[in-house]
Every structure is written in structure tokens, then in C-alpha cells.
Amino acid sequence: MAVVSIFVGNLPWATTDEDLHELFSQFGEVKRSKIVLDRETNRSRGFGFVDMEEADAARAIEAWNGQPYNGRVLTVNLAQSRPARA
DNA sequence: GTTGAGCGTT
């Protein structure tokens, strides 16, 4: 079983990591959910990341990418930065 | 008490 990181963008600024966790838990076990906060202000940057099994991640991406959430159309995709720890 | 493309601090 391989865990992959999912990039989630265009989130409402009120979205929290637990919100992300709930959203993606619908399609599988969420290993980690994280909203990226501005390091200077600690406020949401409007995007985040979720780690889960790649099969579940694929379903969650298909389910949420381009779908509206809280009035915003989400951008959901496989993460690019932060290489996996070896 | 604000903003709106983009890939995170461990």
C-alpha cells in the first residue's frame, strides 16, 4: 500500500485541516490532512494537502476536483513538491 | 474584520 500526497487548492479561507480530513475520509482513510498556513500571519493560504492510499486518493481526487465546496470550486490533484521521505 | 494563484513548516 502506497500513501500519496494530494494537493487541494481554491479552498475557502475558513477551511481547516479537520474539514479536509472529513472531506477525504469519505473515500478512504486519511493518513494526514494539512491546510497550509501563512508562516507570518498563521492564516490560511487557501490550499492544503492530504495524505492517503493512492487508490483512495485517486477516488477522492476524481470526486472533489472541479467540484464546488463552500461556494468555491476546488482544485484537487496529486502533490508535486515536498518529495517523500526515503 | 482584508486577499485568490498556487504545491506545505515539522
Q: Residue A74 sits in a domain of what CATH number?
A: 3.30.70.330
Residue at A86 is within a domain: no
**Which pLDDT score is estimated for A63?**
94
Distances (CA, A) of A62 to A13, A37, A47, A67: 23, 25, 17, 9
Q: Residue at minimal CA–C1' distance from B3?
A: A45
- CB neighbour class for A5 (10 Å; exposed up to 12, middle 13-18, buried from 19): buried
DSSP for residue A44: E
Longest dimension (CA), chain A: 38
Strand B closer than 7 A to residue A42 Cβ: no
Mean pLDDT score of chain A: 92
Residue at A52 is within a domain: yes
- pLDDT (tens digit per residue) in A54-81: 999 999 999 999 999 999 999 999 998 7
Residue at A83 is within a domain: no
A42: which 3 cell numbers? 498563521
Residue at A85 is within a domain: no
Domain assignment of residue A49, given as a range: 3-78
